[in-house]
Structure 1
Amino acid sequence: MPSEYSVPEFQLAACRELLDAHPESLRIREQVEALEEAMPDRPGMVVSFCRTIIETTCKTILTDRGMPVDAGWEAPKLVAEAMKYLNLGPSEDGSVDTKLRNGAESLVRGVNQLISGVVEIRNAHGSAAHGADAYEPLLDSRYAEILARSTDAVVGLLFRTHLQSAKRDPLSRFAYGEHPDFDEYIDNDYGPFEVLDMPLIASEALYRTDFQAYRSALVQFKQEEAAGAADCVAGNAGDD
């Protein structure tokens, strides 16, 4: 964990876990830190950041999947669109557990109701609410904490599911080095190269110069890897 990331009394456990795993997520980090620091004295700020964090999470998922994001979409619509690209109810063997999927979809419907509640309270009591009277009483911090905890649960569900499914379906946006097995496969067959006495690593050169070609080859590599694993399982079953 970076030393500059302070540890306030109030913490969002799921968001913290994601930040630890993905320290480059600076925009979400900024929002999470601001929300944590606002509890419990600035409940209006907390409510506003709840909505912002959910929207940022969904936009990140959609962008990772290469999907366009309409600037006019708000939290409920963003959640609905992001959920289209998340793999709900997977079993260990890659099939779909129907009961788990149905339960997950029910949970998603609850999430959407939660998002609507966040938006409604934010519009009425958030620091960014329009037209609030200067002397209007602040939102009770208990409601702000409930919303913050619920937002943390929503982000945990969405982003963890997103990252889990991304292991099988390489994203449209990812950093070089996230698939070392594939990079090793490329580098063993090509290179090393030198240009003007500068060594070039084949996999990194492909990633930097033609990302789509890199991703296409990665998708094929993952598919062949999965097919090989399935054949191995089938062969072992036949030996029993």
Structure 2
Amino acid sequence: MAPESDSTVFQLSACRELLDSHPESLRIREQVEALEEAMPDRPGVVVSFCRTIIETTCKTILTDRGVSVDSAWKAPKLVSETKKYLNLGVVDDGQLDSSLRNGVQSVVQGLDQIVGGVMEIRNAHGSAAHGTDAYAPLLESHYAEILARATDVVVGLLFKTHLRSAHHDPLSRFRYGDHSDFDEYIDSDYGPFEVLDVPLIASEALYRTDFQAYRAALVLFRQEQEATNGAGAENGEPEP
């Protein structure tokens, strides 16, 4: 008889949601899959990858925003630097909701405690941490799961907030398709083109051949959107 499929496979839901949205992010995919596969039999591997995934997430966000990352920064410092660029409390119209900002900041402060706990347990029980006696007892798997779930929360909060705020503040590095409304705006005025019977999409061609020109036009497009929305709001008109 064929073995029954395992319906209890461990997965990091927030990390998986991000991987589905960005399938080209191979480095963090490798880390997430390694952590998931290590549960529950290799808890030391799990807690080691918890720190690695947090650090990779923060470095990705900072690089997206054109921030130079010091190679000596560890997880607590990386999280601290990353939080500076999340535009907490900004709502869909680009305005700042002070009460929302204060509340979200209180939530985000808890990330520091989570990261501190991940670092402490990783240093004591991680497979990739400091060497230890080969016969030392393994960390119990339920503690590894607690850290993995906490890591998933950290990644989800940081990366989702990062991507959402990028709609109003185009990143120094982003992927083609992240600003589909802008792409449609370009493509409605230019193209389609054909070169050697190969169809070319104007927005993608600009993105691939001159990213800085694409980004400069995108920034102007966003500024004009905000100006139009602001004028409409002053006149009592609904936003598009």
TM-score by length of 1: 0.88
Look up the match of 2:91: 91
Partners of 2:175 and 2:7 lie apart in 1 by 28
Per-residue CA deviations over 1:166-201 (Å, capped at 9, x if unaligned) read 111112112223323322332343445555665544
Q: CA RMSD in A?
A: 2.2
Deviations 1:183-231 (A, max 9, x none): 2332343445555665544323322222111101101001101211222
Instruction: Give, in angstroms, the shift of residue 54 of structure 1.
Output: 0.4
Equivalent residue, structure 2, for 1:151: 151
Other-structure match for 1:206: 206
Distance 1:62 1:8 in 2: 35
Residue pair 1:8, 1:36 contacting (<8 A) in 2 also: no
- 1:112 aligned partner: 112
The match for 2:173 is 173
AA paired with 1:118?
V
**In structure 2, what is the equivalent of residue 79 of structure 1?**
79
Percent identity over the alignment is 73
Query: Cα–Cα, structure 1 residues 124 and 170, in superposed 2: closer, same or farther, change >3 Å?
Result: same
Partner of 2:21: 21
- Note if contact 1:8-1:37 (Cα within 8 Å) is conserved in structure 2: no
What's the CA shift for 1:77? 0.7
Higher mean C-alpha displacement, 173-182 vs 183-192 = 183-192
Are 1:64 and 1:171, in contact at CA under 8 Å, matched by a contact in 2? yes
Amino acid at match of 1:61: I
Tell me the equivalent position of 1:100. 100
When normalised by structure 2's length, the TM-score is 0.88
Q: Which 4+ stretches in 1 moved above 4 angstroms? A: 191-200
77-86 or 21-30: which moved more? 21-30
Q: In the aligned structure 2, how far is the partner of 1:144 from the partner of 1:91?
A: 36
- The 3-state SS of whatever aligns with 2:235 is helix
Unaligned runs of 5+ in 1: 1-5
Cα distance in 2, alignment partners of residues 87 and 230 from structure 1 = 19
Which consecutive residues of structure 2, in runs of 5 or more, have no partner in the other structure?
Answer: 1-5
Q: Is the 8 A contact 1:66 1:173 kept in 2?
A: yes
